[in-house]
Structure 1
Amino acid sequence: MRIEVHGVEPAVPAAAPALDFRLRVHADAPVRALTLATQLRIEAAARDYDEDARDRLQGLFGPPETWGRTLSSLLWTRTVTHVPAFTGRAQATLTVACTYDFDVAAAAYLHGLPGGGVPLRFLFTGTVFYLDGDRLQAACLPWDTEAEHLMPVHVWKDLMDRHFPRTAWIRLERDTFDRLYAHRVRHTLLGWDDTVRSLLETSGG
């Protein structure tokens, strides 16, 4: 069995941000069903980075002079896709939920790229169900079933802009949030942007 990734687009309709990767699945024999488990990884070492990108990604990989040993593959997600019966070739959609939580390494990486492409590797496992005469049989996908795809960075960024226009998200410990909220109330600030700006101005940031 051979699997190719031949495109990506925003999932619609979607209450939360997600991307649909379009798959082509090729099989030599008729397939009754396919349960496809996918590990999606970002091959960060497979592309070049300009000075702007190196500055923005130091939080993930450290100083650029250490990237020879720290620039590593990042796990984006794991997902399961069910493909119905087909003969020869089938189209399938692999849906990947996306987050703007910068504590997630994949989101921090994608946000940090100013442009270009994101080298992705899809590692597939799963179970193929097929007929052997009148008997339904099951077989595991070979361990080396995988695919590569270069996703334009703007696909992810456009998706985030659609769901979170002109905003970004950070997660705070509850005690930190309570102190921030107290600062907002104490200084009668209108919103969270005003609250954070007041702290940045006080610190000279």
Structure 2
Amino acid sequence: MTGPGSTPAGAPGAVPGGPAARHAIPSLSFEITGAEPERFAAVPTLRFGLRITRTGGGPVRSVSLATTVRIDVARRRHGEREQRSLTELFGLPEQWGTTLRPLVWTRITTVVPPFEDTTVAELTLPCTCDTELAVTKYLLAVRDGEVPLDFLFGGTVFFQAADGRLGTAQISWAEGAAYRLPAGLWHGLLDRYFGGSPWLRLSRETYDRLDTHRIRRVLGTWDETVAALLDRADGTVPASPGPSGTSRTP
């Protein structure tokens, strides 16, 4: 990492423990220490622990940390049921050698306060049940085992330069950390907020048509309405009650 008003680590005079070393650009390493649900969040949120260690250079004044979280789907083996569910995302399994690509989950910005040697920060990752998103489709298909995550770090580290001014240096996007998230943690979190009912986004026109169909067929819930339409599409149409309580075929 390089920055104005700073002495590169390892440069002449930057003797470990010497005065110049106190003003050299900090070198940082990152480790994800764990994940757990955020207990009192208004929306489903996972909280990841992040340990940052200074491996060289001088003390850190602060860090403006940008984190990209990706699912590295190629690092997980998928069973037959999962393969069928993931056809929409990646095509047929025989194509996966060329179609499996990491899925970007989210990007997070975090401000890390000053530290000398090591510190612990938190990364909060909101979760959604929006089934139109590729990440949600993937996580709904993967119900057990672990989900391989990659955390890619960038941003700016601030430190005191040799001339006393505030120095800055960019964090290389090559810095990263891997973590294997238990799939059940995500599913349990979504079930706690949504009761095992994924969201389905509809246009106003489609909603009105569906509501008219529900009323005409005297169906009590949206689940019954969609199930009846699926049964009809599959050719397994049960008799449904008419307005007077008599049975009829849709």
TM-score range, shorter chain: over 0.9
Return the alpha-carbon distance in structure 1 between the equivalents of residues 173 and 41 of structure 2: 32
Q: What amino acid is aligned across from residue 194 of structure 2 in structure 1?
A: F
Q: Tell me what 1:155 maps to.
A: 185
Classify the secondary structure of the residue corresponding to 2:199.
coil
Q: What amino acid is aligned across from residue 64 of structure 1 in structure 2?
A: P
Q: What amino acid is aligned across from residue 166 of structure 2 in structure 1?
A: L
Indicate the percent of aligned positions where both proteins have the same amino acid: 43
Return the alpha-carbon distance in structure 2 between the equivalents of residues 201 and 74 of structure 1: 33
Aligned pairs for 1:77-92 within 5 A = 77-92=106-121
Q: Any idea what the Cα deviations from partners look like across 1:53-106, whole Å, max 9, x if unmatched?
A: 111111211111111111111111111111111110000001111111111111
Structure with more relative contact order (C-alpha pairs < 8 Å, separation 6 or more) = 1
Per-residue deviation at 1:130? Answer: 1.0
Q: Any idea what the Cα deviations from partners look like across 1:133-180, whole Å, max 9, x if unmatched?
A: 532111111231111111111111111111111211111222211111
Return the alpha-carbon distance in structure 1 between the equivalents of residues 200 and 50 of structure 2: 33
Aligned pairs for 1:78-157 within 5 A = 78-133=107-162, 134-157=164-187
Selected match of 1:202 from 218, 232, 243: 232
Return the alpha-carbon distance in structure 2 between the equivalents of residues 80 and 22 of structure 1: 14
Report whether the alignment pairs 1:179 with 2:209: yes
Q: What amino acid is aligned across from residue 53 of structure 1 in structure 2?
A: E
Contact 1:39 1:124 in 2 (8 A): yes
Report whether the alignment pairs 1:14 with 2:44: no
Selected match of 1:169 from 199, 203, 218: 199
Return the alpha-carbon distance in structure 2 between the equivalents of residues 105 and 162 of structure 1: 22
Q: Tell me what 2:51 maps to.
A: 24
**Consecutive unaligned residues in structure 1, runs of 5 or more:** none
Return the alpha-carbon distance in structure 1 between the equivalents of residues 78 and 173 of structure 2: 32
Q: Tell me what 2:248 maps to.
A: none
Per-residue deviation at 1:129? Answer: 1.0
Aligned length: 205
Aligned pairs for 1:27-46 within 5 A = 27=54, 28=56, 29-46=58-75
User: TM-score, normalised to structure 2's length?
Assistant: 0.79
Per-residue deviation at 1:201? Answer: 2.3
Q: What amino acid is aligned across from residue 190 of structure 1 in structure 2?
A: G
Return the alpha-carbon distance in structure 2 between the equivalents of residues 117 and 129 of structure 1: 36
RMSD over aligned Cα atoms: 1.3
Return the alpha-carbon distance in structure 2 between the equivalents of residues 62 and 142 of structure 1: 34
Return the alpha-carbon distance in structure 2 between the equivalents of residues 141 and 68 of structure 1: 32
Return the alpha-carbon distance in structure 2 between the equivalents of residues 86 and 185 of structure 1: 63
User: TM-score, normalised to structure 1's length?
Assistant: 0.95
Larger Rg: 2
Classify the secondary structure of the residue corresponding to 2:114.
coil
Q: Any idea what the Cα deviations from partners look like across 1:28-59, whole Å, max 9, x if unmatched?
A: 32111111101111100111111111111112
Q: Tell me what 2:29 maps to.
A: 2
Q: What amino acid is aligned across from residue 75 of structure 2 in structure 1?
A: A
Classify the secondary structure of the residue corresponding to 1:160.
helix
Classify the secondary structure of the residue corresponding to 1:34.
strand
Return the alpha-carbon distance in structure 2 between the equivalents of residues 114 and 83 of structure 1: 34
